[in-house]
Structure 1
């Protein structure tokens, strides 16, 4: 029975960190369109800001991010100049000075930045925006390439949340993904962050990696749990060698099959929740009392390109090569290639490669899918109150999905559509049934387990 279910539901679908998803962005949205969109951003709410640093000290073979390895700092220094210039360009096109409520530094490895460049970046942020006193400032950390001095500099920058990469502690798995990293090294970074009073620590763990077994994953989880993080983000490895050529270095024969991946997913949920963590959506867990856990309990969890979050800002500005942003009018993505990105900025152009202008129906469907991904249900009546007749498609789709549901995973009473408990591991696949664009192009995705 389980094999039959997995054949139907463990299919390749989007992760729904946006709607429409990035493969549907198009070049018809350019720097001129984005300039107009920014000029219309005149709301009172604080903005969210994402800064992408597309460099790493090493290239991990499992990685699906837009990044490159560098042994020299000169390319990073030149990129920082472009990043500061882009920040000034964006700020100059907003109708007035805006507040920042969330700042997320991602990559790549943001901690590759020098202490001097980090200080310059903070000065530039304060020049362009008003940073709220309680602004959540988070950074992604590779424990293999930071020391106490650099961590102290990040704390001085304002970091109050940190996401520490673990992936897996088993030596064979680490060798297969080119990421050697000891438990002791990781635990020391976590301890140093706590000493610096960084109040929110997240650990990233990945399942479905080459040579990973249920036993080795359980050991990794036991070690990770011993560090008592505030949150876990536990992702299924996305094997997409057609997009990321370095993933061809991974032995596909050593990867777990769908049934074993599903068993890993269930093992994770059992072990982490047994330690008191609350499950947040499909791949996050939070300690009671953490802001994400409180948001879950109050129905305020959101989902964006950083995963599950408490960030409720209506607009997120993306800065840096390949960065994705969302403003009221729609999505934009910056040029991926760092050289082309830097050239566009140096010529005074917003470095937009593509984007998507949102229709009323897009907003309604996107809201429904986000609610499914966060809380497994939505109210068609509430969506119609917010979006008008643009939400009508959800009513007909909800009725169709339940009618075709031979497994009893969904329910719809004419108002509330819900993914029931047995179907929640497959919510990505169920959400795809509402996606008005899914299957319209040749986009390929990772499996939903």
Structure 2
């Protein structure tokens, strides 16, 4: 799509702090948990399939743009101690599960999962399989750093059943890489992709970030050309979230000018044009995939999901997170582990799960969370279907949100339909703003809570 001057002018109007809605309410609404049993109650009675997430937090160096919970160290022996703690957490948590619950999905994130040696990863796999049974078609995926990757890592995750992997490139331009403290020659990206294909990984995803210092359309176009040559199955192209009040290292990036919201939107426009012309489907917000990818198929079937790991095809699963800062989601509650390793260790030493924050969902939370997810996944809303599904008059229930949408409709972001509305091609660029209309907790907006929507 080609953005007109009028389209670009909308940035000043709609660029504001807002959630990414990987959960509803967003995690900043979680509160300290005094009694873990309250946020575990739904887990103990559920028979839903499980989606496991393991947070492996160690990195050898800190990327200055990073917003993740990481521990920077060159001491790889620390991974052995961390595995001891994970083993304790697994033993404590599985006591709360009904027998017979199977795992249909598992993801390893970080940090840098391939900070762990192959032997350490084999130990982790043995621990997991000692506590959980997996379905034959379980989807197992991992995030990888090509700078620290060798074949033993790829093989170790494959032994755990991994068939999907994503790896961060962020940007191929050397000046940008130096500015963000992540120097990564493209040869390392090529080698990583070759290893994944060699070991039978059926899906490879590349992560890029737009909005980093020194980026411009010309340089980012060269990055897109380079990574398209790797022929990945999916792209995740994230809007850089500059939140130095949360992640102080990001302040270092201000040594160089950061792209303005208008410049960032031009970079996103470039990504959309370049990747769609190369045959990828734009799923929404930050994901692209080939036409036969299950994410694309799920979106067309209106069964696409969104959770803490981004877009997913797994509906009705309970997400169980392990390790520091990991977030879990049951049908009735969210819970989050201690972010500090010492606090995490102390909780386990006392024989209790390291849950520090959580949130118990109300019926209204479940309704609004479903509406926001459907909007961000389907790029439309069907008020008639919502009325039937939730036994409400959706137009009356969301009268305030519909009133807020009148202005975006005038600006060409949505088109009203007999059943509700469709998001336009232009509106996709402001999908977070549209979702915010249905957020009951958003006002007043705290500037220090969220990154900018554009």
TM-score (norm 1): 0.95
The aligned counterpart of 1:15 is: 20
The aligned counterpart of 2:426 is: 422
Matched, 1:410 2:414: yes
Superposition map of 1:304-343 within 5 A:
304-343=307-346
The aligned counterpart of 1:437 is: 441
Q: For the residues of structure 2 that align with 1:70 and 1:88, how far apart are their CA atoms?
A: 27
* Higher deviation after alignment, 436-445 or 385-394: 385-394
* Higher deviation after alignment, 72-81 or 187-196: 72-81
- Specify the SS of the correspondent of 1:86: helix
Q: For the residues of structure 2 that align with 1:87 and 1:11, how far apart are their CA atoms?
A: 40
Matched, 1:57 2:60: yes
Change (3 A) 1:394 1:29: farther
Change (3 A) 1:35 1:14: closer
Superposition map of 1:4-403 within 5 A:
4-28=9-33, 30-41=35-46, 43=47, 45-251=48-254, 253-389=256-392, 394-403=397-406
Change (3 A) 1:57 1:391: farther
- Specify the SS of the correspondent of 2:31: coil
Q: Which runs of at least 4 in structure 1 moved beyond 4 Å after TM superposition? A: 390-394
- Specify the SS of the correspondent of 1:251: helix
**Structure 1 contact 30–354 (Cα < 8 Å) conserved:** no
- Specify the SS of the correspondent of 2:32: coil
Render the CA deviation track for 1:173-225: whole Å, top value 9, x for unaligned: 00011101111111011001101010000000111111111111001100000
**Structure 2 contact 413–430 (Cα < 8 Å) conserved:** no
Q: For the residues of structure 2 that align with 1:212 and 1:441, how far apart are their CA atoms?
A: 29
The aligned counterpart of 1:447 is: 452
Tell me the CA shift for residue 385 of structure 1.
Answer: 2.4
Render the CA deviation track for 1:266-289: whole Å, top value 9, x for unaligned: 000000010000111111010122
Q: For the residues of structure 2 that align with 1:330 and 1:441, how far apart are their CA atoms?
A: 24
Change (3 A) 1:153 1:403: closer
* Higher deviation after alignment, 347-356 or 384-393: 384-393
Tell me the CA shift for residue 399 of structure 1.
Answer: 2.9
Tell me the CA shift for residue 420 of structure 1.
Answer: 2.6
Render the CA deviation track for 1:159-182: whole Å, top value 9, x for unaligned: 100001100111100001110111
Tell me the CA shift for residue 29 of structure 1.
Answer: 6.1
**Structure 2 contact 204–233 (Cα < 8 Å) conserved:** yes
Tell me the CA shift for residue 95 of structure 1.
Answer: 2.4
* Higher deviation after alignment, 224-233 or 289-298: 289-298
Q: For the residues of structure 1 that align with 2:210 and 2:9, how far apart are their CA atoms?
A: 22
CA RMSD of aligned residues (A): 1.7
Q: For the residues of structure 2 that align with 1:80 and 1:350, how far apart are their CA atoms?
A: 15
- Specify the SS of the correspondent of 2:106: strand
Change (3 A) 1:261 1:179: same
Total equivalences in the alignment:
447
Tell me the CA shift for residue 394 of structure 1.
Answer: 4.6
Q: For the residues of structure 1 that align with 2:35 and 2:256, how far apart are their CA atoms?
A: 42
Q: For the residues of structure 2 that align with 1:289 and 1:328, how far apart are their CA atoms?
A: 30
Change (3 A) 1:142 1:30: farther
Tell me the CA shift for residue 75 of structure 1.
Answer: 2.3
Change (3 A) 1:85 1:28: closer
Render the CA deviation track for 1:123-160: whole Å, top value 9, x for unaligned: 22222111111111100000010111221111112110
